[in-house]
């Protein structure tokens, strides 16, 4: 079985981006800038932000983390986003979710300048994805697609099943898989909580993407022999971090599978770095702006 080593692939991507940033910094006169807004004391969010900070430092992105109290008012938070939107040294703005109660996360995400929306969640960028236009893509599904491409696993002409329909992963991933192009062109089915016998869809799929957040709920007997299984779910359990797949039984029948941890997670951060560099080039006029 081919182990989809997201950690290794992400390291290669970061090295590529570091070289690109070194070349561009002299031409543009500054490094790329990423601002991360972290409100409250959610422990997983704090860990994730630290990982982003390390990745930025490694490749030459200037990272600025704005750590805010949990009781910050929504107007204050929106005002902070406004101030970042107009700063010329900031190419990307990321609002770390979840936000404290009482703060409308959708309002915050929509307040970000779409050209600085490096998470790819703004309606403008989601709309461009749906229409097949260039733009900043949601990082996790983009990381999945990049992983498949670099492992020479093409879903073109194949049956693909996505378990989960979130706006962050399931929906955009389904669109990416079904888009025109040699690295996509799959026939996609999206299964969710109201799908009767989702396991049957999985058994007939060549590619299965797990994005439910239900640890070890997908077993090997639910997977077609020789299928590719990409596990996007991650949960904290008594046994540590676990994905949606029972990895031992799934890997016994799959041709390729991604582990948790070490699979899609590192790819998500690598794609965030890539989006920041993409925005940096657009703001400098090296590439065309998408908004």
Domains along the sequence of the chain with CATH: 29-115 (3.40.50.10860), 139-265 (3.40.50.720)
Token pair recorded at residue 58: 């490694």
Sign of CA dihedral 5, 6, 11, 16: positive
CA distance linking residue 288 with residue 281, whole number of Å:
8
pLDDT band at 287 (very low <50, low <70, confident <90, very high): confident
Tell me, what's the pLDDT at 291? 66
Place of tokens 């049957």: 200
Give 74's pLDDT tier (boundaries 50, 70, 90).
very high
C-beta separation of 78 from 85 below 8 A? no
> What is the rounded average pLDDT of the residues 21-32?
96
pLDDT tens figures, 156-207 = 999 999 999 999 999 999 999 999 988 899 999 999 999 999 999 999 999 9
pLDDT of residue 101: 83
Can you give the pTM of this predicted structure? 0.96
Q: Is the pLDDT of residue 285 over 90?
A: yes
In the structure, what pLDDT confidence band is assigned to residue 109 with cuts at 50, 70 and 90?
A: very high
| pLDDT tens-place string over residues 35-54 | 999 998 888 888 889 999 99
Going by pLDDT thresholds of 50, 70 and 90, the confidence category of residue 113 is very high
Token pair listed for 226: 């020789």
Phi, then psi, of 96 in degrees rounded to 5: -70, 125
Tokens representing 257? 């599978």
Which pLDDT belongs to residue 120?
97
The stretch 6-33 carries a mean pLDDT of 97
* C-beta separation of 191 from 163 below 8 A: yes
Containing 66, the helix (H) or strand (E) segment is strand 62-68
Q: Please report which confidence band the pLDDT of residue 288 belongs to, taking 50, 70 and 90 as the band edges.
A: confident
Q: What are phi and psi of 189, to 5 degrees?
A: -120, 130
Average pLDDT over residues 247-270: 97
Mean pLDDT of 97-118: 93
pLDDT at 289: 78
- Which of the four pLDDT bands, split at 50, 70 and 90, describes residue 89? very high
Written in H, E and C, the secondary structure of 252-285 is CCCCEECCCCCCHHHHHHHHHHHHHHHHHHHHCC
SS3 101: coil
Rounded mean pLDDT of the chain?
A: 96
Give pLDDT, residue 104.
92
Q: Which sequence positions are flagged as catalytic?
A: 52, 96, 119
H helix runs in the chain, sequence order: 6-28, 43-59, 74-85, 105-111, 123-131, 139-150, 170-178, 198-203, 247-251, 264-283
How many other C-beta atoms can be found within 10 angstroms of the C-beta atom of residue 88? 8
pLDDT for residue 254 is more than 80: yes
DSSP class of residue 222 equals G
pLDDT of residue 185: 97
């Amino acid at each position: 079985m081919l182990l989809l080593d997201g950690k290794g692939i992400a390291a290669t991507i970061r090295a590529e981006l570091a070289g690109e940033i070194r070349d561009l910094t002299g031409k543009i006169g500054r490094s790329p800038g990423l601002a991360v807004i972290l409100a409250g004391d959610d422990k997983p969010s704090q860990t994730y932000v630290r990982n982003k900070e390390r990745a930025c430092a490694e490749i030459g992105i200037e990272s600025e983390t704005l750590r805010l109290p949990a009781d910050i008012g929504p107007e204050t938070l929106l005002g902070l986003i406004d101030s970042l939107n107009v700063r010329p040294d900031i190419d990307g703005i990321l609002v770390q979710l979840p936000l404290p109660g009482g703060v409308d996360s959708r309002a915050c995400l929509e307040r970000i300048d779409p050209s600085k929306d490096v998470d790819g969640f703004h309606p403008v960028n989601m709309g461009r994805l749906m229409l097949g236009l260039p733009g900043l893509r949601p990082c996790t599904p983009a990381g999945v697609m990049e992983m498949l491409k670099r492992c020479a696993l093409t879903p073109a002409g194949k049956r693909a099943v996505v378990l989960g329909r979130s706006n962050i992963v399931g929906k955009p991933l389904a669109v990416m898989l079904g888009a025109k192009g040699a690295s996509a062109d799959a026939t996609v089915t999206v299964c969710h909580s109201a799908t009767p016998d989702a396991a049957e869809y999985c058994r007939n799929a060549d590619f299965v993407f797990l994005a439910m957040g239900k640890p070890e709920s997908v077993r090997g007997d639910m997977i077609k022999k020789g299928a590719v299984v990409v596990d996007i779910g991650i949960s904290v359990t008594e046994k540590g971090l676990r994905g949606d797949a029972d990895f031992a039984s799934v890997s016994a029948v799959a041709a390729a599978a991604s582990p948790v941890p070490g699979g899609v997670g590192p790819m998500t951060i690598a794609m965030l770095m890539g989006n920041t560099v993409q925005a940096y080039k657009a703001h400098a006029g090296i590439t065309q702006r998408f908004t």
